[in-house]
């Protein structure tokens, strides 16, 4: 009748925003001065407009899926997430004993259109946007309903991990995720310098309408 609460082993923090090139350059300057380097490498990827999710794997098996909640405590939606075909129930390859994968559950635009068409035909509620549709699908108390919804997933971060040498950079982490069978966004790139990040943003903005999912920025 309800979802159990889950306390995250590592908090799921929120992001800060930058709304101009000047803010981005100031961020870069603070980092370079603190690290005492001339130029930094950045990992850039689309900010997916969905729901943040934490997947906990133990000995390669998916044992828990939890929503972000307030960042410290989320809801256990394991049975629903297990119905998402993009989420592997078991990792492949060489995986640590414990690995928490952070990522985004979202609904592709084509699936969203098909779902609303089906809802309309059945005389049921029409969803306002893909994010609301994804949220409503994940919060079903009956996982059989979730299984009928066209949800997808991309991994982009990690929480608790038992192997301290799992990845030394964000790029390495994404590459390792991919080797374990976890889906990562194909638009992800590693770039040198903050101007390259600004160029990446401009390029993604130009093809935003052609992407098969909704985004609300760049990370």
pLDDT tens, residue by residue, 175-203: 999 999 999 999 999 999 999 999 999 99
Beta strands in 8-151 (DSSP E): 41-44, 46-48, 51-58, 61-67, 73-75, 98-106
Residues labelled as active-site residues: 47
Q: What is the DSSP string of 55-87?
A: EEEETTEEEEEEE-TTSSEEEB-HHHHTT-TTS
Average confidence (pLDDT) per 10 residues, the chain, 219 residues: 92 93 96 97 96 98 97 97 98 96 98 96 94 94 95 97 94 97 97 97 96 96
pLDDT tens, residue by residue, 41-75: 999 999 999 999 999 999 999 999 999 999 999 99
């Amino acid at each position: 009748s309800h979802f159990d609460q889950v306390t995250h082993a590592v908090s799921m923090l929120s992001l800060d925003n930058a709304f101009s090139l000047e803010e981005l350059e100031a961020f870069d300057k603070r980092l370079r001065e603190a690290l005492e380097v001339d130029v930094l490498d950045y990992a850039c990827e689309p900010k997916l407009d969905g729901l943040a999710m934490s997947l906990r794997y133990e000995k390669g098996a998916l044992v828990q899926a939890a929503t972000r909640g307030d960042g410290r405590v989320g809801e256990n939606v394991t049975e629903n997430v297990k119905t998402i075909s993009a989420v592997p129930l078991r990792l492949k390859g060489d995986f640590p004993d414990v690995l928490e994968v952070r990522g985004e559950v979202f609904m592709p635009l084509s699936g969203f259109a098909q779902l609303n068409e089906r809802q309309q035909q059945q005389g049921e509620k029409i969803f306002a946007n893909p994010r609301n549709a994804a949220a409503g699908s994940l919060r079903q108390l009956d996982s059989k309903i979730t299984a009928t919804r066209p949800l997808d997933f991309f991994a982009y971060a990690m929480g608790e991990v038992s192997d301290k040498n799992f990845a030394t950079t964000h790029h390495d982490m994404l590459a390792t995720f991919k080797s374990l069978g976890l889906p990562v966004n194909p638009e992800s790139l590693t770039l040198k310098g903050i101007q390259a990040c600004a160029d990446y943003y401009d390029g993604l903005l130009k093809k935003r309408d052609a992407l098969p999912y909704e985004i609300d920025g760049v990370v």
